[in-house]
Amino acid sequence: MTIDPNILIGGFVSVIVAIFGSAGFWQFVANQASKKTAAEITGIKKELAVMQQSEEEREVRNSRRRILRFNDELYNHVKHSREYFDDVLEDVNAYEQYCRKNPDFQNGKAVLAIENIERVYRECMKNGDFI
């Protein structure tokens, strides 16, 4: 017995049409695409969070550097304007807030500098000793 190739091809085409023409197939394709997109979005969100954390840490390290440099200037008897003090005290505030929110961050490096800056600021306020 021989099988007519046209019947085989016709049957194959019918099966293909049935598969691709069914709503279930397209729903499956849509679900797979949605899962892949969701996974990619989750990955992007994680990368963004890591980048934000890294940027915040870089900024707080820069604040700490400015705090330490300012304190060194105070020890070298350099006088400062009230505005400069206020700017450094904003760095102090940002630095301390970050340290409270991120207890694993090494924050003991500027404790004494901050205490000295605040002490000198109070003295300058009391004596009117800003430049």
pLDDT tens digit string along 10-51?
667 677 777 767 777 778 777 777 877 777 888 888 888 788
Cβ neighbours around 110 below 10 Å, total: 22
In a domain, 90, yes or no: yes
Q: For residues 68 and 113, is the Cβ–Cβ distance under 8 A?
A: yes
Report the candidate in 115, 128, 107, 109 with the shortest Cα–Cα distance to residue 89. 115
| Per-residue pLDDT, 84 | 97
Domain that holds residue 122: 57-127
Between helices 111-127 and 23-75, what is the axis angle to 10°? Answer: 60
| Per-residue pLDDT, 4 | 66
Total domain count, the chain: 1
In a domain, 80, yes or no: yes
In a domain, 32, yes or no: no
